[in-house]
Amino acid sequence: MAERDSAPLVAILTGAGISTDSGIPDYRGPQGVWRKDPEAEKLVTYAYYMADPDIRRRSWRMRGESPVWKSVPNAAHEAIARLERTGTPVRVITQNVDGLHQAAGVPGRKVLELHGNARTVLCTECGARSTMEQALARVAAGEPDPACEACGGVLKSATVMFGQQLDGEVLAEAVAVAKACDVFLAVGTSLQVQPAASLAGLAAEHGARLVIVNAEPTPYDPIADEVVRDPIGQALPRLLAELRPGGSAPS
């Protein structure tokens, strides 16, 4: 573990598995809903979305029906927020777009969203941002493919679609966190999607204690200091309690 003057930095990479207890299925992972259904995958593939108004209409309907809007944070999200409130330096790096870490109380500046956020809408033309709530209200009011009110451009959720690059700044910050952290927890992610997965290896290379919490084996299990297969909602509150000031040191 790297020598540090301040309290140890805890990095937590989260994937779809942390949100399944909140009723949100895995959509974009290798075994996710979208990857298994070519028609559904088109709705979240940038080239199809931009080229075809019918794809956009179907995509807006799908967004309206998303389980994200009714979801609330679960015990695992709350455990992370609790650790952050103790003053322990925490950075969350998430592959999820549901905004549940922030809903649990983790300050937005401490959450790096590798795939963006489904609660925000982005104009592909002028870059204007607005809320998904407003856009879905327009869809419900009879605009099946609402256009940007400023410039008439195509609107989409502020998420990284298939065929789009990750945000370079967000990724660079995630890499910096992985290199600097003392503990790196990978939670509910199969660690099969790059470049997110490689953050685990990077953290380990730079001396962090690597803890993997996932129901299924991951390619990074052999280099992990600890692999936990227990349900995330039980395992994470226990693991994070050990990291709190005054908590028992990880063995």
Q: Is 181 annotated as a binding-site member? A: no
Decide: is 150 part of the binding site for Zn ion (CB under 5 A): yes
Please choose, out of 11-19, 75-83, 119-127, 139-147, the segment that lies near Zn ion by the rule CB under 5 A. 119-127
| Least distance to Zn ion, CB of residue 143, Å | 15
Decide: is 151 part of the binding site for Zn ion (CB under 5 A): yes
Per-residue H/E/C for the chain: CCCCCCCCCEEEEECHHHCHHHCCCCCCCCCCCCCCCHHHHHHCEHHHHHHCHHHHHHHHHHHHCCHHHHCCCCHHHHHHHHHHHCCCCEEEEECCCCCHHHHHCCCHHHEEECCEEEEEEEECCCCCEEEHHHHHHHHHCCCCCCECCCCCCEEEEEECCECCCCCHHHHHHHHHHHHHCCEEEEECCCCCCCCCCHHHHHHHHCCCEEEEECCCCCCCHHHCCEEECCCHHHHHHHHHHCCCCCCCCCC
191, burial (CB in 10 Å: exposed 0-12, middle 13-18, buried 19+)? buried
Active site residue 206: no
| Least distance to Zn ion, CB of residue 145, Å | 14
Residues binding Zn ion: number (CB under 5 A): 8
Q: Which of 122, 114, 126, 180 is nearest to 146 (CA)?
A: 122
Decide: is 147 part of the binding site for Zn ion (CB under 5 A): no
Decide: is 126 part of the binding site for Zn ion (CB under 5 A): yes
| Least distance to Zn ion, CB of residue 93, Å | 29
Q: Which is nearer to Zn ion, 124 or 164 (CB)?
A: 124
Decide: is 149 part of the binding site for Zn ion (CB under 5 A): no
Helix 75-85 crosses helix 232-241 at what angle (to 10 degrees)? 10
Indicate which residue of 77, 101, 115, 206 is catalytic.
115
Decide: is 158 part of the binding site for Zn ion (CB under 5 A): no
Q: Give, as ranges, the residues between 169 and 208 that touch Zn ion (CB under 5 A).
A: none
Q: Which is nearer to Zn ion, 123 or 186 (CB)?
A: 123
Q: Which is nearer to Zn ion, 109 or 129 (CB)?
A: 129
Decide: is 153 part of the binding site for Zn ion (CB under 5 A): yes
Please choose, out of 5-13, 42-50, 78-86, 143-151, the segment that lies near Zn ion by the rule CB under 5 A. 143-151
Q: Which is nearer to Zn ion, 153 or 231 (CB)?
A: 153
- Binding-site sequence positions: 123, 126, 148, 151
The contact set with Zn ion (CB under 5 A) reads 123, 125-126, 128, 148, 150-151, 153
Give the active site residues.
Answer: 115
